[in-house]
Amino acid sequence: MNLIKHCIVDTTTNLVVNIIDYETNITNQVPLGLEFNLLAIASDIGGIGDSYINGVIVPSPIIEITPVQGAV
């Protein structure tokens, strides 16, 4: 069995809300059992919180957090 990673995209927000492995490539389809506003997009790099823009999964920017000196 060959599993393919898919990003589940909420089309109302264009955000990746879940990651699922499917046996087949069902790119740009609503998988059985999911709501009409969700798409499964095959992607090896996508992650939860990424954006879906113009047919491409776009990774979220990495935010570097710097601790404040003296903070508790």
* Domain boundaries of the chain, sorted by first residue: 4-56
Could you give the dihedral angle defined by the CA atoms of residues 49, 54, 58 and 63, in that order, rounded to the nearest 10 degrees?
Answer: -70
Tell me: pLDDT of 72 over 90: no
* Bridge partners (DSSP) listed for residue 16: 9
Question: Would you state the pLDDT for residue 66?
Answer: 83
Task: Identify the band that residue 7 occupies on the pLDDT scale cut at 50, 70 and 90.
Answer: very high
Q: What is the pLDDT of residues 33-62, one digit of tens each?
A: 677 888 888 888 899 999 999 989 999 888
User: What is the per-residue burial (b if ≥16 Cβ within 10 Å, else e) of 18-36?
Assistant: eeeeeeeebeeeeeeeeee
